Structure 1
Amino acid sequence: MRRLLTGLLAAALFALSACTGEAPAAEDVAAVPTGPPCLTSVGSPAAASADGKPLPAMAVKCFDGGRYIDASLLGNAPTIINLWGSYCEPCRTELPAFQRFVTAAGDKVRVVGVVVKDSRSAAQSVIDDKKLTFPMLEDRDQQFSIALSQAVGKPISNALPATLFVAPGGRVVYTYQGEALDEEKIRALTAQYLRIEVGP
């Protein structure tokens, strides 16, 4: 019983911990922080799918300069990871579509933005201008995007925008790189690769 209560307490802290602190201490890396611009837990952890490539287990910093999170924890729910930069025109074009998708998806799918090789002020300007509310991580030195490139076998860090569809269990089941996505295409890819229908 004590073990069950400890587990429930850990799960609650996992969902509610905020992006504060500076160093990637073990307790910081283990937690997924709450609310924009970091992360909110969606759903329950699930067994890994046999399909796809695993997310790298590495610390990635919250965009607001707070805690680090372990990227592999992004697989505790169906997740879409969108890598972008303010210098990337197609990125800026598709970000509002992701925001509309987030509003429509609710708790069904988590969307996480990753700001790649960009200044905080330039990225923040885009976030403010596009009124983005979904969680953001920071990859200024491209270590995360390089690790993702190695994991999925595609160059991601220098080919933005890039969007990864992650099944519960932390497996990247599809990587999209191409023209800016619109909301209809995001819905279609989500249905195809995550098997989740998001209505208008």
Structure 2
Amino acid sequence: MRRVLAGLVAGALLALAGCTAESPKTDDGAAAPTGPPCLPAASAAASPGPAPSSAGKPLPAMAVRCFDGGRYVDVAQLGNAPTILNLWRSNCEPCRTELPAFQRFVTSAGSKVRVVGVIVMDSRPAAQSVIDDKQLTFPMLEDRDQQFSIALSQVVGRSVASALPATLFIAPGGRIVYTYQGIALDDEKIRALTAAHLGIEVAA
């Protein structure tokens, strides 16, 4: 009897170990990517920065999925701190060129400005490869069906997904004060745009 009980206990422990060792899954059953963490459930830890701005156009009211799993983030969270939103895709060469500059900016800016990446219509393995190669650590959202990009385009009055990369500067209060689309940004240009449109100086 003792042997039977011992076998049952051992089997239960093995089953439990198997469950806990299983890789996390997204809401569609796929293995979760291993990229940077998403925004916290409540981003109160971010620096409040300047007072909310009444200038610019409001962010669209919607939820966007985190790259690191199935959780969704309310885009309104992006308005609780000065934020730079960078839309990119793995097969976009200017995107790949400027991502390291954003990573260096994140290191220099600390809590003054939050940078959030949005991966537009890309496969998870391809995006993961860029994240790993460029050693990106800032939060990532994914817009696989372009719904967020379309909503942003309607707000700013031009397509943000058809000419990637696109970078949006968001003031406290969740208002888009500037949208940049052009040649790949470098360190100096990111700092200059941040100072001009968010009123925040970030040292090199």
Task: Give the alignment's TM-score, normalised by structure 1.
Answer: 0.81
Q: CA 1:46–1:181 in 2, change beyond 3 Å: closer, same or farther?
A: closer
Q: Distance in 2 between matches of 1:53 and 1:70?
A: 17
Query: Quick check: 1:82 aligned with 2:86?
Result: yes
- Asked whether the 8 Å contact 1:58–1:71 carries over to 2, the reply is yes
* 1:128 aligned partner, one-letter code: D
Matched with 1:92 is: 96
Query: CA deviation digits over 1:139-171, x for unaligned, max 9?
Result: 000000110000111111211000000000000
Once residues 46 and 142 of structure 1 are traced to their aligned partners in structure 2, the CA distance between those partners, rounded to angstroms, is 31
Instruction: Give the aligned partner of residue 105 of structure 1.
Output: 109
Matched to 1:161, the amino acid is: P
Question: Residue 39 of structure 2 corresponds to which residue in structure 1?
Answer: 39
Contact 1:46 / 1:169 at 8 angstroms: preserved in 2? no
Distance in 1 (alpha carbons) for counterparts of 2:126 and 2:175: 31
Q: Residues 105, 92 of structure 1: CA spacing in aligned structure 2 closer, same or farther, 3 A cutoff?
A: same
Distance 2:199 2:133 in 1: 32
Large movers: runs of 4+ above 3 Å: 19-23, 44-48
**Pick aligned residue for 2:135 from 114, 131, 134:** 131
Query: 1:46 offset after TM fit, Å?
Result: 7.2
* Residue number in structure 2 paired with 1:54: 58
**Bigger radius of gyration among the two:** 2
Identity among equivalent pairs (%): 75
Q: Give unmatched runs, 5+ long, in structure 1.
A: 1-18, 24-34
Match of 2:14 in 1: none
Give the total of aligned pairs.
Answer: 171
Residues 59 and 69 in structure 1, CA contact (< 8 A), matched pair in contact too? yes
Deviates more, 1:111-120 or 1:149-158: 149-158
Q: Confirm or deny that 1:188 pairs with 2:192.
A: yes
1:14 matched to which residue of 2? none
Contact 2:49–2:82, Cα closer than 8 Å, also in 1: no
Do the aligned partners of 2:49 and 2:112 also contact (CA within 8 Å) in 1?
no
**Matching residue of 1:7:** none
* C-alpha RMSD of the superposition: 2.0
Gaps of 5+ in 2: 1-23, 29-34
Give the equivalent residue in structure 2 for 1:165: 169
For the 8 Å contact 1:37–1:137, the answer to whether it is kept is: no
Q: Quick one: distance in 1 between partners of 2:81 and 2:71?
A: 20
Deviation at 1:48, TM superposition (A): 3.8
Instruction: With the length of structure 2 as denominator, give the TM-score of the two structures.
Output: 0.79
Amino acid in the other structure paired with 1:150: Q
